[in-house]
Amino acid sequence: MTTMTANQLPVEPHHDEPDPTIDRAVTEVDLRGRALGRLKKKADFRVHLLIYVLVNGMLVLIWAMTGAGFFWPVFPIAGWGIGVVANAVDAYVVDAPTEEQIETEMERLRRR
């Protein structure tokens, strides 16, 4: 049997200290999920915009082929356009809430 000094003993990891590799992995998974969500919103917006252009183009064509009187397609174009703009803002401008914002909101709800 050999005798070991304190410097030679194997060091056990402290269980109360967070493992930085786990934090990094969670962050990468979280970032990947957020990135996929953003890409899906952008793809959904492009489909929405394409449908908007095609349908309203057909309405303008119908208007033109039926005498081109009062430009009634302005109503669906304007009404639906509000939704398209809101969808664009959601896809390209608004960021997902951060963990800090989520924690702040949870804390506010706990105080109620």
Measured CA to CA in angstroms, residue 71 lies from 81, 88, 90, 97, 106 at distances of: 16, 26, 30, 42, 50
Alpha helices by DSSP H, listed for 17-98, are 20-65, 74-92
pTM listed for this prediction: 0.64
The structural domains of the chain, with segments of one domain joined by +, span 35-110
Q: Mind listing the pLDDT tens digit of every residue in the chain (112 residues)?
A: 566 665 665 555 555 665 556 666 667 887 888 889 889 999 999 999 999 999 999 999 999 999 989 999 999 999 999 999 999 999 999 877 778 888 899 898 889 8
Neighbours of 60 (CB within 10 A): 16
pLDDT score, position 61: 97
The token duo for 71 is: 């430009």
